[in-house]
A and B are shown apart, each in its own frame.
Chain A
């Protein structure tokens, strides 16, 4: 069964003036139908305003479809009886770590989610320990979150979601505010969740090098899914991505330019090692 499924999902933001008259309607998500299988690593790309975040907010019932349906683990998100189950199944991590940490010490913050769910005290502690270990932050469990770096804070946020034992985690630009090492820490933690814990990952990002390891990529434009495929298939279409205000990793672009100049390099080179191997064969 699909962990996440949307059918003809459309969402409209309605702008109103002071007297509640409708001033205009913006269709942020336009007739989107996607299926995500349990355990997949999905990346969503798209320029600012393409509808990525609006789509993401439907996956754990922060927003509800204007038209169409979203199912999370088979449950219709529109059905209010399902609300808490849906939110416990699909957790969410946002861009700014400072907006999502509330505890005075790390372990307290991570325990907040399960505590709210009514998990027994003993099990809360077990979950806190386990989650912090998974993201590599266990040794900081007694620290104050405001003494941590951005990458560490973001990993604490992920642990907080993880402690709720979700089947799926949606991350909305989790690395936008981080330095290179912080980005790597977060992406490594996310890949670990997917590889080892088999948690479904839906990652929204503007950093093309972070999606190289995804199973499937969706590219959004004007609220709909414009492209879909493996990272290699997507990154083979360099010109199309540029039209959509996106780009490709630097090695992919180098390979593309060299191919245009006549070197027999396969399309969609994703890593430094692949470029090296491809060029060796050209010698």
Chain B
């Protein structure tokens, strides 16, 4: 799989008084099996960018290439693309609609034209992977808890066997343990299926913990594209963009100012504890 955005710009309502430029000269390559975190304040262009990845929007200028093919090409099948790049919207549980959990997950594969048997096999494996037990398969999805519903909705996208899985704030509204469960599950899915994951999030702590690489967007442009440790070095710049570094990183920075010899590039609690311990020789 390869996904390349080459000088992509997108303008909403071009040529009208409502014209607004949402993406500005975006260059991005998503690598195989990568866990990518996408952050930026509300209105920074994250959602517009994400909608280019599966062809819901086509660039006003520039190109998006999937496995070498330009997705704007009239010959290119965007329907196939949507099977290969799975998009999980915010609050995906609002899109559940079938009478039971299993049928809901089967809907995508059957719609794609797969046999009933193949669809069921995929639904079974997707539901197992998101941690939904057999006993729930024939229950109404509306009788499940919030976290379970969300996992069923993600299974619906997984059953399409996407090569890239894009999730827009999959943990919004979940309790801390629920957040960890969903993110841990995504990590496993990546390992087992080898697909790439793009995680759009407002939680700096979450992307710091799980992403290999972070893209920071501001006013429709990519401002930073680097590892979490590198990106969160720019805490001042991030703050000016309505974001922030994880609390650990901010705490370490403060300690450094106070003369402690700590490593300020730590972005999670584990590493933070280690570097402070080292200072005290414990």
- Footprint of B on A, CB under 8 Å? 46-49, 95, 149-151, 173, 176-183, 206, 208-209, 242, 245-247, 249-251, 253-254, 257-258, 261-263, 272-273, 275-276, 279-280, 282
Residue B97 CB within 8 A of the other chain:
no
28 A-B pairs with C-beta separation under 8 A: A48-B174, A95-B173, A151-B42, A177-B172, A178-B202, A179-B41, A179-B42, A179-B243, A180-B204, A181-B41, A182-B42, A182-B242, A206-B173, A206-B176, A242-B177, A245-B176, A245-B178, A247-B177, A249-B247, A250-B246, A251-B248, A251-B251, A254-B251, A262-B282, A272-B254, A276-B251, A276-B258, A279-B260
Pick from A250, A257, A276: contact of B205, CB below 8 A: A250
Which residues of chain A come closer than 8 Å to B272, judged between CB atoms? 250, 254
Residue B255 CB within 8 A of the other chain:
yes
Which of the 9-residue segments B52-60, B74-82, B107-115, B273-281 touches chain A? B273-281
Residue B184 CB within 8 A of the other chain:
no
Pick from B43, B145, B147, B273: contact of A257, CB below 8 A: B273
Residue B233 CB within 8 A of the other chain:
no
Residue B216 CB within 8 A of the other chain:
no
Which residues of chain A come closer than 8 Å to B176, judged between CB atoms? 47, 206, 208, 245-247
How far is the CB of B33 from the nearest CB of chain A, in Å? 28
- Footprint of A on B, CB under 8 Å? 40-43, 90, 145-147, 169, 172-178, 202, 204-205, 242-244, 246-248, 250-251, 254-255, 258, 260, 269, 272-273, 276-277, 280, 282
How far is the CB of B4 from the nearest CB of chain A, in Å? 28
Contact between chains at B205 and A49 (CB < 8 Å): no
How far is the CB of B236 from the nearest CB of chain A, in Å? 14
Contact between chains at B280 and A149 (CB < 8 Å): no
Nearest-neighbor residue (CB-CB) of B43 within chain A = A149
Contact between chains at A263 and B280 (CB < 8 Å): yes
How far is the CB of A73 from the nearest CB of chain B, in Å? 30
Cα separation A258 to B251 with both chains bound (whole Å): 14
How far is the CB of B269 from the nearest CB of chain A, in Å? 5
Contact between chains at A279 and B242 (CB < 8 Å): no
Which residues of chain B come closer than 8 Å to A275, judged between CB atoms? 251, 255
Contact between chains at A250 and B248 (CB < 8 Å): yes
Contact between chains at B251 and A48 (CB < 8 Å): no
Cα separation A94 to B42 with both chains bound (whole Å): 19
Cα separation A111 to B172 with both chains bound (whole Å): 30
Nearest-neighbor residue (CB-CB) of B90 within chain A = A177
Cα separation A157 to B116 with both chains bound (whole Å): 48
Cα separation A250 to B276 with both chains bound (whole Å): 14
New A-B pairs, 18, CB < 8 Å, besides A250-B272, A263-B282, A275-B255: A46-B175, A48-B145, A48-B178, A149-B42, A179-B242, A183-B202, A206-B174, A208-B176, A242-B177, A245-B178, A246-B177, A254-B269, A254-B272, A254-B276, A261-B277, A262-B282, A279-B255, A279-B276
Contact between chains at A178 and B205 (CB < 8 Å): no
Using known A-B contacts A261-B282, A272-B254, determine if residue A49 contacts B146 with beta carbons closer than 8 Å: yes
Which residues of chain A come closer than 8 Å to B173, judged between CB atoms? 48, 95, 173, 176-177, 206
Contact between chains at A150 and B178 (CB < 8 Å): no
Contact between chains at B251 and A250 (CB < 8 Å): yes
Cα separation A179 to B90 with both chains bound (whole Å): 14
Nearest-neighbor residue (CB-CB) of A95 within chain B = B173
Which residues of chain B come closer than 8 Å to A176, judged between CB atoms? 172-173
Contact between chains at B178 and A47 (CB < 8 Å): yes
Query: Taking each of B41, B43, B174, which has the highest tally of chain A beta carbons within 10 Å of its own beta carbon?
Result: B41
Cα separation A51 to B152 with both chains bound (whole Å): 23
